[in-house]
Structures are given as structure tokens and as C-alpha cells.
Amino acid sequence: MSFPHGTLQGTSLIGKQVFSGSQAVIQAIDPATGETLSPAYPGLGKGEVEQACRLAWSAFDTYRETGLEERAGFLETIADEIEALGDELIVRAMAETGLPRARLEGERGRTCGQLRLFASVVRTGEWLDVRIDPALPKRAPMPRVDLRQRHVSLGPVAVFGASNFPLAFSVAGGDTASSLAAGCPVVVKAHSAHPGTSELVGRAVQKAVAHCGLPDGVFSLLFGAGNEVGQALVADPHIQAVGFTGSRAGGTAIMATAQARPQPIPVYAEMSSINPVFLLPEALAARGAEIAEGFVGSLNMGAGQFCTNPGLVIAVKGEALEAFVAAAARAVSGSGAQTMLTPGIHAAYSKGVETLAGAARELARGEVGDGPNLCQTALFRTQAADFLASNALQGEVFGSAALVVECEDLDEARAVAERLEGQLTVTLQMDDTDLGAARTLLPTLERKAGRILVNGWPTGVEVCHAMVHGGPYPATSDSRTTSVGSAAIQRFLRPVCYQNLPEGLLPEALRDDNPCGVTRLMDGRREG
């Protein structure tokens, strides 16, 4: 085994130990050159998956009762350790993904910022949702006993790294950060597209676990070609929830496995979205060319390999729409070819564009470029009547490809909105005088999407408290949650009620004197 990239060893991490599997090998490919990157990562077998899950289980009762400060410190240590990887992480991630340096440096900042946000969330203790209903011994006809509630950790979580954010949605990304924040050990199935990046980050987390003196089962990182490791992970009885970002086929397979277990478990799969953009009439007339420029910029961002890539534009027919279409087509024609993440993603993109080409009219393609795995931006057009009659036109094409849907009038635009599947985002381009039209659309859009934007583009996802990166199926498997932002912690918690417990047995967060200093619902009234 060679070590051409610094410290990489090509191994899985089970707790503090390294494991070299004996199954089929994963090897990264530099998508810009087609070159295979060392080292090779032999896949694990079922026995090792079970071992990692058992270890996570053994760490669970200790880890879930770490104090707020201790757990927050651990999350911050992970961020520090990732930063300490320095440029080796960026260089390796560039080679494995074809993404440019600036993007990856930004993503590293986001990843570490996210870990630190969850540290601050842990410290507030809001997530404990402490509720105290004091005893009412004199209540008639029946006295009330003392009842207290807090949230506890669900259990070990299986996290699947995503291809398109090798840092922010991967080994130490949002699912891992929110699981660890919730007190849940994590077993990560590394994405096969960036194993070296995964190993580097995995070792950083491993170091943080050791540095903080936590049980080593708090974190493991598994490699495996194909679906066996992932399926075994989801089926393992010690795993209590799943975080996944990826394709609809992958997400629904995981949902099926999770439901078929003797004990079904929650799956948080973020899967498929075409992120419709409605161009309302006045905005379209007033600034169609400017909107076209913003739209194509968002469409091309990261070669369109964002869950929030705007793949659908809906507008009412007329001169203003024609002007927009002409400007968007010009911008698309001038779009440079960009390297996609993997040969597989490039192949799926090409197939998706072909399907669109068969069902809609091509308006423009971007530059062809020179090299392997290039995304050639694509813009298509169709009539609302055809869109309403077709499921194929709603399929997600992962990469820079979009479809403009021309409507007869606003009523038809609303019918298109009603016809949509669940989405991560819906965008309105509107001016003040479009307010009436926007109000008419809003109830439908609220039923369809997790986030509604006005006069922006969906490709930026702020990591904050109010963010919802979620939405009705098939955008996600569970519309009641978000995978980005501080509310993501709630996915990995469940409530427990403690009735009449003596002070000495009561969890610290529930004690009368509130030693954790958390906000509480006292007899239904918010306090502190």
C-alpha cells in the first residue's frame, strides 16, 4: 500500500482502531483527469459493521449524559482538529471532487462554523425542552403528582456522506454534527467518491474523541463499495436513526430497509428537489434580463450539483417571458463547461438531459469544453399543459439543467404549483405590484416546500436557527424536520416524562434549582 498523500492509510476507523477491510476496494478518481487516486480503500464486511455498531451502542449511555459544556467542547474540538489538517485536506478534496479551492475552503469554514453553532446550541439547552408540571396535592377531585419532561438522545445514528459537499454534508457535516450535539454516537458510511477526504476528517474526529476523553465508540467511519455496508448499517439493531443526503433511489432504499427492521427507525433522507422559481409578471417585465443573469448564475453554481439547484422556471407567456428566455439562453450558451464530481454523476446528468431533450424543446447548451466529466449547461422549454401531463418533466436532473414552463395565465401557473412534488425550496421573483399574485400562490407553495424565497436564489443555504433545509416527500423522507440549521438537532431526540422522581434520581436538567440554566415550560408558561 502506498501513501502518496501524506497520512492517508486507506483504512476504516472503528472507534480508536483502524481496520483494513477485505471486501471490494474503493478508489477515488480525479474527475478532471480520470486518474485513479491512491490509496485504495478495501471495503468492510458485515462483521465489522456490526462491531462498529456494537461499539457505538456501548458508548451511548455515557456519551448521552455528557454535560452541556463537555459536549459543546467536543464539537469545538472537532472543528479545531479539522482546521489543523491544513492544506492537505483542501488539496485532497480538490483532487477527489474537481471542486475549486475557494469553494472547498469556504465549505471547510461552513463545516467548522456548523460544528461551533451546534456547540452553542448544546450550551443553551433549549433542545432539552424541559417542562415541569409541579405537584398539585390539593387539586380536586384528584391530586396531581409532580411531572417533568426532558428530551433524551435517540441512540447511535448511521450517517451517509454525500458526494456533493465532501465536507459540509459528509463525515463531519450537518448530520454528524447534529447527531453528536444530540448525544448520539455516529457511525458514518463514507461516500465512495471522496475516501481520502473522508479518512482525513474521520481521523480529525477520532482525535477529538480521544482528546476529550470520550468513549471511542462515539465515532466510527466505514468504507464499502456497493450497498452492502450501508444496508447492514441501517439494519443493525443498535442503530436508532439514519441521516442521508443523496439520490431518491438511495433514500427510498434506506427507508425500506429501516421500515423492514423488527424495530423500525426514523430515516432523515434528503433526496430530490427541482426548486421551482416563479417569475411573477411585474418583476419579469421590469427586470427580466437581470433575473435571467441571476438565474443562470445559480444554475451554474458548482456545476449545478446542489440539492437546491433551480431546475424549473415558471412564468406566464408574453413578450417579457420571451425576453427573459432569450437572455437566459444567451447566458447558458456562454456558460463554461465545469468538471462534475464523479464519472457516475456525469453519466446520470447526461442521461437526464437526454430525457429532457426528448420531452421538451432545447433552448441552449453551454460550452462543450475539453476534458472528461464536463457538465454542459442545458436549458429547455415546455408548455404548462405538457408539464401538467407529464411525470418525466418533474424528474430531478442533478447538474446544471433547467426547464422553463410557459403558462397561459397565473391560474395555470398555480395549477403547475399544485402539480409539483415536494420541494426543498420555492422561489418567487416579484415586485411590489406582484403582491396579489404572490399571495394567491403562497398557500400552495407552503404545502410544497420547506423554504420559500423572495428575490433571491435557492443555492445558498444559511446555517442558522430559522433555516429549513427540508420539505415534503420526495424532497425529504420526513417533512417535520430540517437537515441544516440548529433545529436539525431535534431529529435525534425523544421526550421522556419523569413522574414523582426523588431529587436524587432526577436528571440534572430537571432539578428545581435548574443547575443547567435552561429555559423551562413551568406549568405551561415559558420561563427563563
For the annotated catalytic residues, the residue numbers are: 270, 307
Is 292 in contact with 505 (CB distance < 8 Å)? no
By the rule CB under 8 A, 392 interacts with its own copies:
no
List the Cα angle 178/180/184 in 5-degree steps.
110
| Among the residue ranges 66-74, 294-302, 328-336, 473-481, the one whose residues contact its own copies (CB under 8 A) | 473-481
Q: Name the amino acid, one letter, at 104.
A: L
- Tell me: does residue 465 bind its own copies (CB under 8 A): yes
Residue type, 507: P
> Among 121, 171, 187, 279, which residue sits at the site for its own copies (rule: CB under 8 A)?
121
Q: Does 301 bind its own copies (CB under 8 A)?
A: no
User: Shortest distance, CB of residue 125 to its own copies, whole angstroms?
Assistant: 11
User: Alpha helix locations (H) across 279-318?
Assistant: 281-300
For its own copies, the binding residues in 132-161 under the rule CB under 8 A are 132-133, 142, 144-145, 147-149, 152, 154-155
Number of residues that bind its own copies (CB under 8 A): 78
CB atoms within 10 A of CB 106: 14
Q: Report the residue number, 158 or 378, with the smaller CB distance to its own copies.
A: 158
Q: Is 250 in the site for its own copies (CB under 8 A)?
A: no
CB atoms within 10 A of CB 363: 18
Restricted to residues 411-430, the positions that interact with its own copies (CB under 8 A) are 422
Q: Which is nearer to its own copies, 323 or 415 (CB)?
A: 415
Which residues 337-366 are close enough to bind its own copies by CB under 8 A? none
Applying CB under 8 A, which of residues 18, 326, 385, 453 lies at the interface with its own copies? 453
215 forms part of the interface with its own copies (CB under 8 A): no
- The answer to whether the CB of 458 falls within 8 A of the CB of 276 is no
Q: Which is nearer to its own copies, 261 or 351 (CB)?
A: 261
Burial of residue 428 (CB within 10 Å: 0-12, 13-18, 19+) is buried
Of residues 51 through 90, those in contact with its own copies by CB under 8 A are 61, 65
Q: Please tell me whether residue 313 binds its own copies under the rule CB under 8 A.
A: no
For its own copies, the closer CB: 35 or 512: 512
**Interface with its own copies, residue 235, by CB under 8 A:** no
Pair 244, 170: CB distance under 8 Å: no
Q: Containing H/E element for 248?
A: helix 248-260
C-beta of 12 vs 240, nearer to its own copies: 240
Q: Are 341 and 169 in contact (CB under 8 A)?
A: no
Phi/psi at 370 (nearest 5 deg)?
-140, 110
The closest alpha carbon to 74, from 222, 206, 221, belongs to 206
Q: Binding its own copies by CB under 8 A: which of 77, 97, 482, 483?
A: 482
Nearest to 430 by CA among 449, 413, 447, 415: 413
Kindly tell me which of 193 and 234 has the beta carbon lying closer to its own copies.
Answer: 234
Three-state secondary structure along 435-465? Answer: HHHHHHHHHHHHHHEEEEEECCCCCCCCCCC
Among residues 22, 36, 120, 433, which is the contact residue for its own copies, using CB under 8 A?
120
Q: How far is the CB of 255 from its own copies (least distance, A)?
A: 7
At residue 313, what is the residue type? Answer: V
Find the binding residues for its own copies in span 429-448 (CB under 8 A).
432, 435, 438-439, 442-443, 446-447
Residue of 380, 384, 309, 312 lying closest to 340 (CA atoms)? 309
Q: CB-based contacts of 123: which residues, under 8 Å, 6+ apart?
A: 68, 69, 72
Residue among 269 and 364 whose Cβ is closer to its own copies: 269
**The three three-digit cell numbers of residue 201, written as one number:** 476528517
Identify the residue among 8, 345, 452, 489 touching its own copies (CB under 8 A). 452
Q: Counting contacts by CB under 8 A, is residue 264 touching its own copies?
A: yes
- List the one residue from 80, 472, 511, 514 that touches its own copies (CB under 8 A): 472
Contact pick of 255, 279, 284, 299 for its own copies (by CB under 8 A): 255
Count of alpha carbons within 13 angstroms of residue 160, beta-carbon side: 29
